[in-house]
Structure 1
Amino acid sequence: MAKVSMINREHKRLKEVKRQADKRDQLKKIIADPKSSDEAKREAVVKLNKLPRNGSPIRLRNRCALTGRPHGYYRKFGLGRNKLREAAMRGDVPGLVKASW
């Protein structure tokens, strides 16, 4: 089980990313647009740099929904490998069965 503070930090970052998404997208469009002037691009870069760092989606870490474990995470299920195995053994994950050959 991950520390509760780490899990809470990730939730806080997720909220910030959702809140800042529109602003970041607009500024990045200005920067990437070849038609915009150099001054507008510089201004957009400065504004983008002034936004909170935790608003960047790159700072998010995938964690198990049950334990908060950061490693051994399966995106398709949103669970860590240990909890995914337990859920599969209980039959909670449809279509997922233990391999046997």
Structure 2
Amino acid sequence: MAKKSLIQREKKRQKLEQKYHLIRRSSKKKIRSKVSPLSEKKKMQEKLQSLPRNSAPTRLHRRCFLTGRPRANYRDFGLSGHILREMVYACLLPGATRSSW
């Protein structure tokens, strides 16, 4: 089980990312446009840099739905590898076959 403080920190980052998503997207769009002058691009870059760091989507990290483990997550299930394996062995996932090695 991951520390609860780390899980809460990740949830806070998700909220910040949703809050500033439209502002970040519009400012990036204006920076990339070829029509806008350099002074406007510079202002948009300053606006983009003034946003909180934790609102950037690259700071988000997927976590296991049950344990909060940050590594070895399957996108389809939202679970980490060892939890997924335990669920398959307990026959909780229909259609999944067990492997032994």
TM norm. shorter chain > 0.5:
yes
Q: Aligned partners of 1:59, 1:74: CA distance in 2, in Å?
A: 18
Offset at 1:99?
A: 3.5
Q: Matched residue pairs, number?
A: 100
Residues 1-101 of structure 1 aligned to structure 2 (within 5 Å): 1-99=1-99
Larger deviation, residues 36-45 vs 88-97 = 88-97
Sequence identity of aligned pairs in percent? 43
Aligned CA RMSD, in angstroms, stands at 1.3
- Gaps of at least 5 residues in structure 1 are none
Specify whether residues 37 and 94 from structure 1 end up closer, same or farther in structure 2 by C-alpha distance, changes over 3 A only: farther
Q: Which runs of 5+ in 2 are unaligned?
A: none
- 1:90 to partner: Cα distance: 2.9
Q: Describe the shift of the 1:94–1:26 C-alpha distance in structure 2 as closer, same or farther (beyond 3 A).
A: farther
Local SS of the residue matching 1:31: helix
In structure 2, the CA distance between the partners of 1:99 and 1:32, relative to structure 1 (3 Å rule), is same
For normalisation by structure 2, the TM-score amounts to 0.91
What's the CA shift for 1:37? 1.1
Greater CA deviation, 24-33 or 84-93? 84-93
CA drift at 1:91: 3.1
Amino acid aligned to 1:81: G
TM-score (ref. length: structure 1): 0.91
